Each structure stands twice: as C-alpha cells, then as structure tokens.
C-alpha cells in the first residue's frame, strides 16, 4: 500500500514517482521585523503577496511563524503571537497551498486548527503541557523537531556523545508519546533541528545521516537549513549572502533522504531541485 504524509486538506506521497520531487515549504515570517513598517495591515498585505509569490515559484506548503526562533530570541506573549499569526492564516486560507503554523504554544495550535491549519510545526517537539492534547483530535500534519535547550540558551554549549543517535532517540520518544495519545503515524514527520542546540560539526553530521534518521524512525524527514549559521560557517558569508550555500544544503538534504525542505528562497531552490532531479532521476 502506498504511504502518504497526511496534512489536513492535503496528502503528500512518500513513495512512488510523485514522491521523487521534494515538498518545498516556503517560510513566511509574520514578525514585526519582517514587515517594511511594522503596521499590521501592511504586514497582512505583504504576507499575502509573499505567499502568492512563493506558490507561483513552486512552494506546496507555507510555514507561518509569529515568533522568531533565532538563537537568543525572546519568547513572544501568547496574545501577541495570536495577533500576528491568525490574520495571516485566515487570509491565506483562500490559496491552494498547505498551511503550516510554526508554534510551540498549545493555545496557538488550537486556534490555528480551528482556522484550518494543515500542519503544526513545533520546534519544541510538542513537549509543552497541553501540546499533544491540542493536536490529537485533528487531522493536521505534525512536524516534531529536535532542539537541545531553548532558543534563548541553545547555542551556549551544545553537547552530545553521539549527536545522530541522540537526536533519533529523542524523536523516537516523541513519536511514541504521540502515537500513545492516539495520533496516527501518517500525520507525523520528523526534523533534526539544524542550528537548534548544535555546533557546526553536529549539524553536518546530522545532514550526512538524514537517511539513517528517516530509516530508523520510518518517517518522512523535514530539513531546514536556509540561511543558517551552518551555511555561513562553511562559506564565510553573512546571512544576506547565503543563497547559493542554502541551495547546496537543500540539494544535499534531498540527496540524503529529506522529503520536505524548509526554505526562504523558493524560486532559486525549486530551479536547482528541478535541474538536479532531471539529472539524477530516470
């Protein structure tokens, strides 16, 4: 029987010819620093036109985030996160694209699901009290990400004995907790959490072993490396000059078995993936 990742209104094949091209998840930040003037109306217009552009460019999923997850970023109060995310989610519901909401807060998860979110992407792996309960009775997709410590502290001194084994063990435990709560495996994808409590060496060890993560957990893998410091560490480039490096990382992730890539630069990434696909798949 063919396997799919089930995400609300959408279903993404995991095997067969349609699974050969990766799902491209476009990043849509609805934080004030991502709008030209910080105004909410302009922010919403910008979110809509940016989402439409990403869809034209080939994104089949959009990840809406109202809280910055960069190292050292402060957490955003619940009311403010809802004010940022919900108008964008309602506005984007008219578009033919799977809508993911990037949040760790159970209350935001619940509201997002009422509004029709197709996926919840939790960098905290649904560990907050009430997070599992918030998503268990829906049919949305769930991205479980690994993170050591918190965004405020995670890059201070990341430590592992065997980073790949420890990330797999963590993700496996979270999958177990979710399935024990009655959540179908078909709704789950896993993510090693590049840059979330990892050194450059940890990140590249995980990138090289994405296939092992996929195979040991028998679940689709999402990889997000776009513009991150692991790209800057290898290229020596500042964040605004990491396009080529980020595309290289996305291609490597897919070559190593990622099913979904989370990216800022959808058009360039999709072009690169199309050429790589034509050159490698018969």
Helix (H, G, I), strand (E, B) or coil at 80: helix
Question: Least distance to ligand 9MG from the beta carbon of 58, Å?
Answer: 19
Helix (H, G, I), strand (E, B) or coil at 141: strand
Query: Rule CB under 6 A: is residue 194 a binding residue for ligand 9MG?
Result: yes
Contact predicate 34/70, CB 8 Å? no
**Is 145 an interacting residue with respect to ligand 9MG (CB under 6 A)?**
yes
199 lies in the binding site for ligand 9MG (CB under 6 A) = no
Q: How far is the CB of 212 from ligand 9MG (least distance, A)?
A: 18
Residues 242-271, interacting with ligand 9MG (CB under 6 A): 262
Least distance CB 202 / ligand 9MG (angstroms)? 13
How many angstroms separate the CA atoms of 250 and 223, rounded?
Answer: 8
By Cβ distance, which residue is nearest to ligand 9MG? 224
CA pair distance 122, 143, nearest whole angstrom: 6
User: By CB under 6 A, is residue 69 in contact with ligand 9MG?
Assistant: yes
Backbone angles phi and psi of 109, in degrees to 5: -55, -50
> Considering beta carbons, is residue 27 or 183 the nearer one to ligand 9MG?
27
Among 222, 230, 247, 272, the residue binding ligand 9MG under the rule CB under 6 A is 222
Asked if 175 touches ligand 9MG (CB under 6 A), the answer is no
Is residue 190 within 8 Å of 257, Cβ to Cβ? Answer: no
Q: Which stretch binds ligand 9MG (CB under 6 A): 53-61, 84-92, 191-199, 210-218?
A: 191-199
Q: Which residues contact 67 (CB under 8 A, 6 or more apart)?
A: 31, 73, 75, 76, 81, 102, 103, 104
Q: HSE of 227 in the Cβ direction (CA atoms, 13 Å)?
A: 12
As beta bridge partners, residue 247 has none
The residue from 84, 174, 228, 259 that is catalytic is 228
Question: Least distance to ligand 9MG from the beta carbon of 278, Å?
Answer: 27
Q: With CB under 6 A, what is the number of residues at the site for ligand 9MG?
A: 13
The angle formed by the CA atoms of residues 193, 230 and 149, to the nearest 5 degrees, is 40
Q: To the nearest whole angstrom, how small is the minimum distance from the Cβ of residue 217 to ligand 9MG?
A: 15
198 binds ligand 9MG (CB under 6 A): no
CB 207 within 8 A of CB 224: no
Alpha-carbon distance of 13 to 18, in angstroms, equals: 6
Residue positions annotated with a catalytic role: 228, 262
Q: Which residues bind ligand 9MG (CB under 6 A)?
A: 65, 69, 102, 121, 123, 143, 145, 191, 193-194, 222, 224, 262
């Amino acid at each position: 029987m063919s396997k799919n990742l089930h995400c609300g209104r959408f279903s993404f094949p995991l095997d067969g010819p349609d699974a050969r091209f990766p799902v491209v998840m476009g990043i849509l930040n609805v934080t004030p620093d991502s709008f030209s003037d910080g105004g909410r109306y302009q922010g919403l217009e910008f979110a809509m036109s940016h989402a439409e552009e990403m869809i034209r460019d080939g994104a089949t999923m959009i990840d809406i985030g109202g809280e910055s997850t960069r190292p050292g970023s402060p957490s955003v109060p619940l009311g403010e996160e809802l004010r940022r995310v919900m108008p964008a989610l309602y506005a984007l519901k008219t578009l033919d694209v799977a809508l993911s909401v990037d949040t760790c807060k159970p209350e935001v998860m619940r509201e997002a699901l009422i509004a029709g979110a197709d996926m919840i992407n939790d960098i905290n792996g649904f560990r907050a009290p009430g997070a599992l309960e918030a998503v268990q009775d829906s049919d949305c997709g769930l991205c479980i990400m690994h993170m050591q410590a918190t965004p405020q502290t995670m890059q201070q001194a990341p430590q592992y004995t065997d980073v790949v084994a420890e990330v797999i063990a963590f993700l496996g435990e979270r999958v177990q907790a979710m399935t024990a709560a009655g959540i179908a495996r078909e709704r789950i994808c896993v993510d090693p959490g590049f840059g979330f409590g990892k050194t450059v060496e940890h990140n590249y060890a995980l990138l090289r072993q994405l296939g092992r993560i996929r195979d040991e957990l028998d679940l689709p893998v999402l990889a997000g490396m776009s513009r991150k410091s692991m790209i800057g560490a290898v290229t020596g480039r500042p964040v605004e000059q990491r396009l080529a490096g980020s595309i290289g990382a996305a291609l490597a992730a897919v070559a190593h078995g990622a099913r979904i890539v989370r990216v800022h630069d959808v058009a360039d990434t999709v072009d690169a993936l199309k050429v790589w696909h034509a050159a490698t798949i018969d």
